[in-house]
Amino acid sequence: MSTKTLLILTVLVIIIIVIKPWRTKTESTQNTDTSSPQETVDPPKRPTYSSSPLADELHTPDSNAPRDLEIIQTLLTDYRLITKHGNPSGTNQEITSVLTGNNRFRIAPLPRTHQNISEKGELLDRFGSPYIFHNLSADFIEIRSCGPDKKARTDDDIINSSLPEHSTLRL
């Protein structure tokens, strides 16, 4: 036998030695208990904080517009405390989207079905106008209701003017 033939035979024997145990192992895992399909278990999902009890108080008849602003500010504080990030930023629609769970943490202190979220996805004040959000810092958003005249930046606007002192969240 030539050296070349001997080399080829050696390689073939090595391949057979390696492939045979691998093939047997694969067949044995495929043949185990075929009476029921194997269940795939999804990894556990992170818990979701949803629907703060305060969300139910928003725009109730026995409350008022300044209290509504306080509630929204507290919902934002809860979001900030849970996520360890600053307030969401952007338009009313973007902030409302974040508060209803469209965020990487799946945190939804405000239910998507809240009666004061418009078809456009904006959170409306008790007078039917979208709230105006203005980020003053990572920890505080000025929230403005246009008031009964439904016009922004007029004398009847209602603005939250102080930082929230508490959160309903118990850590």
| The pLDDT value given to residue 169 | 43
Phi first, then psi, for residue 15 (nearest 5°) are -60, -45
| The pLDDT value given to residue 136 | 87
Q: Per residue of the chain (171 residues), what is the pLDDT tens digit?
A: 677 777 776 766 676 776 666 555 555 555 554 444 444 444 444 445 556 788 999 999 999 999 999 999 999 988 898 888 888 999 999 999 999 999 998 989 999 999 999 999 999 999 999 999 999 887 789 999 999 999 999 999 999 965 555 444 443
| The pLDDT value given to residue 144 | 97
Q: Check: CB of residue 124 under 8 Å from CB of residue 110.
A: no
All structural domains of the chain, each given as residue ranges with its CATH number in brackets, are 53-159 (3.30.700)
| The pLDDT value given to residue 27 | 53
Smallest Cα–Cα separation from 30: which of 41, 18, 22?
22
Q: How many CB atoms lie within 10 A of CB 70?
A: 20
